[in-house]
Amino acid sequence: MITVHHLNNSRSQRVLWLLEELGVGYEIKPYQRDAKTMLAPPELRQVHPLGKSPVISDGNLTLAESGAILEYLADKYGQGRLAPAPGTPERLRYTYWMHFAEGSAMPPLLLKLIFDRMKKAPLLVRPVARAIADRALGSFVLPNIERNLKFIEGELAKSEWLAGAQFSAADVQMSFPLEAARIRGGLDEKYPRLMDFLRRIHSRPAYLRALERGGKYELLR
């Protein structure tokens, strides 16, 4: 039995969703973020030294890092579904988006979260904190988020899903940065294909089943 170590409001929602798409049985071990710091509880470090979510256990295997988990699950349980065949152009696009999600899309979105919080620093230092945050946001963070969104919008003009005509685990992996961008990165109707992508994934029965099993899923602002 696969166990998903599932932190509320986190990337592990993607793992539940992929497992629902695959129709593979799994159990959820829930963890709650600290209400103040939003960090994962220390128990998660007993499962994996970094204590981040997601982590899965499958038999003797413990695996962290959402992209690695999705690739592993699709390859092991997909029987050719949800991952394009090796050696095809679609497979290379699949690999690209698998890496892009955490390697390129998430870093500026995480910086946005951090600098927005910095602006709420204690009153005494707030003016300085705001000046630093606004400078970083304006010169680096926001332009990078916008470039990324424009780029993905353009890529979705080429095919219905990110790796090609077929829905794949790469779409699941990319859902998190796009959902985060919708909440805090300026993703709106200016990007009609991205909004349509979000609508399409949100209406998939497997996505809805994963939400039901995983519980509340509200991304941090």
Ligand X SMILES: N[C@@H](CCC(=O)N[C@@H](CS)C(=O)NCC(=O)O)C(=O)O
Calculate the CA 148 to chain-centre distance. Answer: 15
Of 49-57, 132-140, 150-158, 200-208, which segment contacts ligand X by CB under 6 A? 49-57
Q: Quote the CA–CA distance of 23 and 122 in Å, as a whole number.
A: 49
**Does 66 engage in binding with ligand X (CB under 6 A)?**
yes
* 40 counts as binding ligand X under rule CB under 6 A: yes
Instruction: Please report whether residue 5 would count as binding ligand X according to CB under 6 A.
Output: no
* Residues in 94-153 that interact with ligand X by CB under 6 A: 102
Q: What is the dihedral of CA 117, 65, 4, 169, to 10 degrees?
A: 100
> Of 36 and 158, which has the nearer Cβ to ligand X?
36
What is the rounded CA–CA span in Å between residue 20 and residue 12?
Answer: 13
**Residue 7 binds ligand X (CB under 6 A):** yes
State which residue, 102 or 179, has the beta carbon closest to ligand X: 102
Instruction: Say which DSSP state 40 is in.
Output: P
- Considering only the C-alpha atoms of the chain, give the largest distance between any 2 of them, rounded to a whole number of Å: 59
> What is d(CA 34, CA 32) in angstroms, rounded to the nearest whole number?
6
Q: Is 52 in the site for ligand X (CB under 6 A)?
A: yes
Shortest distance in whole angstroms from residue 197 CB to ligand X: 19
Q: Does 179 bind ligand X (CB under 6 A)?
A: no
Instruction: Give yes or no for residue 6 binding ligand X (CB under 6 A).
Output: no
Size of the site for ligand X (CB under 6 A): 11
Spatial separation of the C-alpha atoms in residues 160 and 19, rounded to whole Å: 22
Per DSSP, what are the bridge partners of residue 148? none
Q: Which is nearer to ligand X, 47 or 206 (CB)?
A: 47
Sign of CA dihedral 128, 131, 134, 135: negative
Least distance (Å) between residue 123 CB and ligand X: 27
Residue 175 interacts with ligand X (CB under 6 A): yes or no: no
Site residues, ligand X (CB under 6 A): 7, 10-11, 39-40, 52-54, 65-66, 102
